[in-house]
Amino acid sequence: MAPMIEDSLPAQHGSRPITKSGEGDTRPSLYKDVDEKILNDAVENCIANYGTKFEKDIIVGSKGLYVYTASGHQCLDWTSGQMSCLIGHGHPEIVSTIHDHAANLDHLFSGMLSPPVINLAKRLTSLLPPGLDKAFFLSTGGESNEAAIKMAKVYTGKFEIVGLGASWHGVTAQALGTQYHFGRKGQGPLMPGMHMLPPPNAYRSIFRNPDGSYDWETELNYGWDLIDRASCGSLAACIVECIQSSAGMHVLPTGYLKALKKHCEKRGMLLIVDEAQTGVGRCGDLMAINHEDVVPDILTLSKTLGNGLPLSAVVMSAEIERVCTERDFCFYTTHVNDPLPAAVGDKVLEIVVRDNLVEHSREMGQHLHAGLQRLKSRYGCIGDVRGRGLMAGVEIVGDREKKTPALELARSIAREMYELGLWANLSSHSSFGGVFRIAPPIVITKEQLDRGLEIMEQAFSRTEGSMPLY
């Protein structure tokens, strides 16, 4: 059994806990005494909007599986921060690693190498299948995808990139060019040569077999036929997520990734797999590619690798690295191969392997999905439950037969869940309606899962319009 981070407070059910700084307050002490009103006033004056609506509460602490607000509200964090704190907030070994490297080996000239970077590259590539042989490290997922796309262009000598509808790969120029979920508007022309395949949405796709099941093969072939017609003959790569999280937790159908690679090979393209959220055990395999036994030409990691610190990786074959080096590939940044975040990434991988957290994630994922399916059997507003491992989506609808989106109902349920002590990010973009995205730290216990599922049950039961079935 994997060692778990200690819970700092008992479960809160039924009402929002309000505590004040002082005796009996077990919030992390760093910001216990802040004045939430003063901070919220300052937000209006000095915090710029960057494309999201800010939550009303100010977070003053995070520990283990919980986050804490300035008013004393404790909340189970079922999104691991921004889907990143894979082994929980404030994991003691991560804290120690950060402390030691902040004090002794933090940041270097970008042409210098250090033991943490070499150790991380060695450990990471040893855990991946042959063909993913060499790695370098950056800061964000968008940055790693940017580098992967550039590498594919340099290696192939071509420039057209294919992405999946509803994808999210980052907000830098090339990553955004192949991102079809959100963020494309307002800046004029995007990168040339970007093409889109239909989003593999098993719940809503119009491509159906005679028995009503999802006909993803026809849909995929149709998409490639359109791309072949639109292409100018310079197809370089296809980039894909194994689970389209921002799109509402849509899992690639079994066989899809293998078929996609065959399409790429047929056209002389590279396959890039973006495992920002699925990598490092989240889905019950060390990497999501292991589940389908597919080796991409380039693999990108971020989020989970750094457990909340800005760390990403680009991993490729020795041959791709060799050719790109000969052709003067350059992705030289201020924080490429920084020692401190690399040390954290190496420690994350060590813990995940040492503590059997991949198997634990698989087992806890089965428990989570069984609980979510029970909820679906009880409430007619749940149209679909999907995902794999400790990564799940719950889609809220107004009518199961018509699959009518019910975003306002989903928001009401989300508010109730939060008040009861559970944070499970509600994706609300119009491309998919209201979907709860669930991805707790993979150190979560069965008891903590049951606690969260109980809160969800209470939230559904208390929300008008949830359509109880019994």
Task: Tabulate helix, strand, coil % of the chain (nearest 5).
Answer: 40, 15, 45
- Residue 168: count of CB within 10 angstroms of its CB: 25
Active site residue 274: yes
Catalytic pick from 146, 160, 219, 241?
241
- Burial track 90-124 (b if 16+ CB lie within 10 A, e otherwise): bbeebeebbeebeeebeeeeeeeebebbebbbebb
Catalytic pick from 437, 448, 451, 458?
437
Q: Which residues contact 176 (CB under 8 A, 6 or more apart)?
A: 142, 169, 170, 183, 184, 190, 191
- Give the closest residue to 249 by CA, choosing from 441, 85, 392: 392
Catalytic pick from 77, 160, 168, 275?
168
Residue 318 dihedral angles phi and psi, to the nearest 5°: -60, -35
Given a contact cutoff of 8 angstroms between Cβ atoms, the answer to whether 141 and 303 are in contact is yes
CA distance 56 to 60: 13
Half-sphere exposure for 257 (CA within 13 Å, toward CB): 23
Active site residue 457: no
Q: Across the strands, what pairs with 61?
A: 68
CA distance 45 to 432: 33
Catalytic pick from 158, 267, 282, 303?
303
Catalytic pick from 277, 297, 416, 423?
277
Catalytic pick from 146, 215, 274, 338?
274
Active site residue 303: yes
H or E stretch including 373?
A: helix 357-378
Any idea which residues carry the catalytic annotation? 168, 241, 274, 277, 303, 437
